[in-house]
Chain A
C-alpha cells in the first residue's frame, strides 16, 4: 500500500516545494487568499450592521455558518481546486499524458497540484470560527464536539466532489467552465448563509441536489439545538458525512462516464 502511494507523495512534495521556494511571492499569495475570505465576510458584516437576525440566526450563528462553510471550501479548493483547469488540459491535450501512465487519472490529477496559498483563506475562516464559537450558546456534548470537527471535513469532501463533478461535465462542455461555477462557487456561496432564507425549491436544490446546506447550516442547527425550517429537520445536520458519501458516489460515476466519453484532442 505504502509503495502504491509513493508516486503521489513525490508529486505532491514537489508541488509543495515549488510553491514555498519563493518565500515572498508565496506570502503575498497567502495574503491574497486571506483577503478573499475577509471581503466575503464583509457581506455578513454589512448585513448585520443593519439587522439583528438573518434566516432565524443571530450574528454569531450566521458567522458560524459562514466560517464553517468557508473553512470547508478553502480545504477543498486547496486540495482539488485546480480541477477547474481541466478545460485547459482538454484543449491542449495535456490530459493524454495522464492517460498513458498506469495510475488512475483522477488520482493523478488531484495530486498533480495543491494550492497551499488557500491556507490563507482557511486561516481566516478558522479565526472567525474561533471568535464566534464562544459567542454562541452551545450545550457541549461529546457528540456535538465530534460534529464540530467532522462538519468541516465532510463539507470539504462535499465541495471536492462538486469540483470533480464540474470536471467531469467539462468532458462534454469543454467551454462550460463558467456553467459549472454556478454549482461549485455558487454552492460555496449558498453554503455560507442559512438555507432558511431560501424559498422551498431553492432550499431543496441546495440541500438534496447540491448538498450545500449539509456543509455548515444543518450542522449549525444541531450545535445550537435550533429547529430547522420547513423541509429541513435538525437531525439532517448529523447526516453531513452521508451527504458527502452520496455526492462522491455521483462524482466517481460521473467522472468515469466523462473519461469514457473523452476521445482526445488529436495530439
Chain B
C-alpha cells in the first residue's frame, strides 16, 4: 500500500511542480509579513528573530503537502458511492491500509513539494537551520508522527460520510480549523493566550507547529521528547477514535447493489 501510494503520486509531476511553485510564492509573501511583524516588535517576537520567522514561514509551506493540512475526501466519496463495500471485503484493515497509502503519498511529496520553497527561502533570505544532527533526527520522527496524526484526523472527518450526505460543511470547518490552529498561518507561540489554549487542546499543533519546533531546534532535549510524546498521545487517541467511529458507521451502513 505504501509503495502504491508513492507511485500513484509520483505520476503527477506537473501538478507537483505547480504546487511547489504556489507554496513558494505564498512562502515569500508570508516571510515578508512575518519579518514586518518581527521588525515592528523590535527584532524578536515570542522568541523568533527575523531569520527564525522566515525559516518558520518557509517550513510551514514546505510541510503543507507532506502532512496534507488541507482537505482529503477520498474515503468519504467511497462511502457515498458505495465503493466502501470493496474496502470492507478486503482482508486488510481499511484504516491501516489508507494510512499506509497516505504515508507513501507523504514520502513522495517531501522532496518535490518541500525542497523548492526551502531552496528559494534559503537563496532569497537565508534560513536559520541547526548544524547539529539531533534536531534533524528527532525532526524526522516528529514529521512521521505529524503525517500520521494528520491522517488520523482526516480519517475521522471522512467518517462523517456514514451519517451525512453532504460533507462540504464538515470539510470546510476541518480545513479552516487545521489551517489556523496547526500554526500554518502563524506560529501558535504568537497566538493570544485564549487562542493558544484552544489550539493546544486540539491535535492540530502536532501537525505543523511541533515538527517545525523540533527540526529548527527551538525545542531541544527533554522538551523535544515531550512534544513527540504529545504527538504520540494524539496519534493513539485519534486512531482509536477512528476505529470506534468506523465500527459504528459500518453497523449503520447499507450498500445497495448486487
A interface with B by C-beta (< 8 Å): 25, 28-29, 31-32, 35-36, 39, 42-43, 46-47, 49-55, 173, 175-179, 181-183, 185-186, 189-190, 193-194, 196-199, 202
- Confirm or deny: B249 has a beta carbon within 8 angstroms of a beta carbon on chain A: no
Q: Which residues of A contact B40 (CB under 8 A)?
A: 51-54
- Interface assignment of B36: CB less than 8 Å from any CB of chain A: yes
Say whether A54 contacts B33, CB under 8 Å. yes
- A25, A35, A42, A197: the one within 8 Å of B173 (CB): A35
Smallest distance from the beta carbon of B188 to chain A beta carbons, Å? 10
Does B22 contact A202, Cβ atoms closer than 8 Å?
A: no
**Known contacts A54-B37, A177-B18, A178-B19; 6 further A-B pairs (Cβ under 8 A):** A36-B176, A46-B190, A49-B190, A49-B191, A50-B41, A182-B26
A2 to B168, CA, bound (A): 38
Residues of A within 8 A of B36 (CB): 54-55, 193-194, 196-197
Taking CB atoms, residues of chain B closer than 8 Å to A183 are: 25
Whether A47 lies near B168 (C-beta < 8 A) is no
CA distance A37 to B145 in the complex (A): 31
Q: How far is the CA of A72 from the CA of B26 in the complex (A)?
A: 20
Least CB distance from A189 to B in Å reads 6
Q: A50-B41, A178-B19, A182-B25 are in contact. Are A39 and B190 (CB under 8 A)?
A: no
Does B237 make an interface contact (CB < 8 A)? no
> Is B253 in contact with chain A by the CB < 8 A criterion?
no
26 A-B pairs with CB atoms under 8 Å apart are: A25-B166, A28-B169, A31-B169, A39-B180, A42-B180, A46-B195, A47-B190, A49-B190, A49-B191, A49-B192, A50-B37, A54-B36, A54-B37, A173-B18, A175-B14, A175-B18, A176-B18, A177-B18, A178-B19, A178-B22, A181-B22, A182-B21, A186-B25, A186-B29, A198-B32, A202-B32
Given the complex, which residues of A lie within 8 Å of B185, measured CB to CB?
A: 42-43, 46
Tell me whether A178 and B18 are in contact in the complex, defined as CB-CB below 8 angstroms, given that A186-B25, A189-B29 are known contacts: yes
Shortest CB distance B155–A (Å)? 21
Interface size on B, residues (CB 8 A): 36
Which residues of the partner chain B approach A43 to less than 8 Å between Cβ atoms? 185-186
Taken together as a complex, chains A and B put the C-alpha atoms of A28 and B26 apart, in Å, by 29
Are B18's CB and A50's CB within 8 A? no
Q: In whole angstroms, how far apart are the Cα atoms of A29 and B172 in the complex?
A: 9
In B185-244, the 8 Å CB interface with A consists of 185-186, 190-192, 195
Question: What CA separation (Å) do A43 and B26 show in the bound complex?
Answer: 14
Q: Contacts A29-B168, A36-B176 given; indicate if A193 touches B33 (C-beta within 8 A).
A: yes
Q: Which of B1-52 contact A (CB under 8 A)?
A: 12, 14-15, 17-19, 21-22, 24-26, 28-29, 32-33, 35-37, 40-41, 45-46
Nearest CB on A from B165, distance (A) = 10
In the complex, the answer to whether A39 meets B176 with C-beta atoms within 8 Å is yes
Docked CA distance A181–B21 (Å): 9
Cβ of B179 under 8 Å from chain A: yes
The answer to whether A179 and B46 have CB atoms under 8 Å apart is no
Chain A nearest CB from B30 CB (Å) reads 8
The complex places the Cα of A42 from the Cα of B46 at a distance, in Å, of 18
Interface residue from A32, A189, A197 paired with B169 (Cβ < 8 Å):
A32
A207 to chain B, nearest CB (A): 13
**In the complex the two chains form, what is the Cα distance from A175 to B12 in whole Å?**
9
Taking the closest CB of chain B, its distance from the CB of A47, in whole angstroms, is: 5
Per-residue CB contact flags for chain B residues 101-114 toward chain A (1 = under 8 Å, else 0) read: 00000000000000
The winner among A29, A173, A175 for most chain B CB atoms within 10 A is A175
The residue in B19, B29, B185, B192 that gathers the most chain A C-beta atoms within 10 A of its C-beta is B29
